[in-house]
Structure 1
Amino acid sequence: MRQRIAVIDFETSGITPGRDCRATEIGVAMVEDGRVVDRFQSLMNAGVWVPPMIEQLTGISNAMLKSAPPAHRVMRDAAAFVGETPLAAHNASFDRKFWDYELARLGLARRQDFACTLLLSRRLLPQAPDHKLGTLTRWAGLPAAGRAHRALADAEMAANLLSHLEGTLQRQFQLADIDHALLCKLQKVTAAKVKPYLRELQAKLVV
């Protein structure tokens, strides 16, 4: 049995959230027992200008955002959709800061930790050519969910990767129940100590 986890992805107008840099799209893929069971996606108009380079990367234009629902409404709906479900993202440090910033504008605060499929893949899939989401998706033979750098497609690919990582833990270390807390602990273990850490955990479960 695998715990239900909300995998999120933001497209944004820049790198660091602030007055002139905001989220432009959010996607959430709910994954449970190795498959995506629910989804949330919306463009979000925060009144910011999207630079041409980012518009070209994401395909999200300033014209598209003009007709998008306001950011505060989208984030309120996204927060309600996620609720208390544990969170994950690929390169979670990026998505976490936008999630926290947008929630703070609503007077809300995150209670859950983020599991990071980038950190986890570095520890569990060291043989991969690199640990970009697209590379890992192709290398592991996972489904391509749509255009890269669109929020829901990236969230679904990260959700599929998360399920693959959980399966890797189950197959290699016979860990029957993979919960979010274990993933968050594992991503903090140095790569060299991952196998000893998991073998010790496995031994405790056998005893």
Structure 2
Amino acid sequence: MTQTPADTLVVLDFETTGLSPNQGDRAIEIGAVKLHQGQVVDRFQQLMNPGFRVSGFIEGYTGITNAMLAGAPGCDEVMDGFADFIDGCNMVAHNASFDQRFLDAELAAVGRDYAGDFVCSMLLARRLYPEAPNHKLGSLVTFKSIPHDGVFHRALADAQMTADLWMAMLADLQGDWGVSAPRFAQLKKLSKTPKAQVSRVLASLA
């Protein structure tokens, strides 16, 4: 997976009942965009019933109500299908440690796994755009003038915005630093590079 290009991957986002699967929280929506050579070739979106009522806070935050979830398939059914969708792909998420925790927990519950690797678009944006006001997804979308429909905290909309941000970062890597056709593993390394060393690493990639 390490030699795959950085423009061919799955960008994903979870909406959940809380912050931690270790505390019993479950996924309630998954949204994902599959990119091949920078073009969207497939999408995945599904609500999923966690088996218990979600809080009023989560209903308000996500817009996903208990009524919407009542008729949704269970997490197990949805995640089994999503495992097929991401098969063989590297993945990107904004604040990826959060999404990876839920992906790992939900796939483990159905006895599935994945071979791909993760890069966090938030960490990469911190290296490329230190001058941004902050590195939340909505702020970066505004900072980079990325078109959007104003919907936040729904999984597919957030995944699409993250995919657009990812492609904007690839364009800036080429335009500002002469880094063309980077590999996924190179961007993972860059996302974890101490900020004082970012310029040196970028120069080495050019």
TM-score category (smaller protein): over 0.9
Check if 1:48 corresponds to 2:58.
no
For the 8 Å contact 2:87–2:114, the answer to whether it is kept is no
Task: In structure 2, give the amino acid aligned to 1:41.
Answer: Q
Check if 1:34 corresponds to 2:62.
no
- Where does residue 23 of structure 1 map in the other structure? 27
Alignment of 1:151-170 (within 5 A): 151-170=155-174
Deviation >4 Å, runs of 4+ = none
Report the TM-score when normalising by structure 2: 0.93
Q: 2 CA distance for matches of 1:148 and 1:21?
A: 20
Structure 1 residue 200: Cα displacement: 2.2
- Where does residue 196 of structure 2 map in the other structure? 192
Report the TM-score when normalising by structure 1: 0.92
Check if 1:81 corresponds to 2:85.
yes
Q: 2 CA distance for matches of 1:20 and 1:197?
A: 40
- The alpha-carbon distance between structure 1 residues 45 and 16, as it changes in their structure 2 partners (threshold 3 A), is same
- Where does residue 141 of structure 1 map in the other structure? 145
Q: 2 CA distance for matches of 1:2 and 1:121?
A: 15
Structure 1 residue 37: Cα displacement: 2.6
Structure 1 residue 18: Cα displacement: 4.1
Structure 2, unpaired ranges of 5+: none
Q: 2 CA distance for matches of 1:182 and 1:31?
A: 18
- Where does residue 131 of structure 1 map in the other structure? 135
CA RMSD of aligned residues (A): 1.5
> Please, which moves more after superposition, 32-41 or 153-162?
32-41
For this pair of structures, how many residues does the alignment match? 202
Q: Percent identity?
A: 45
- The alpha-carbon distance between structure 1 residues 146 and 36, as it changes in their structure 2 partners (threshold 3 A), is farther
Structure 1, unpaired ranges of 5+: 203-207
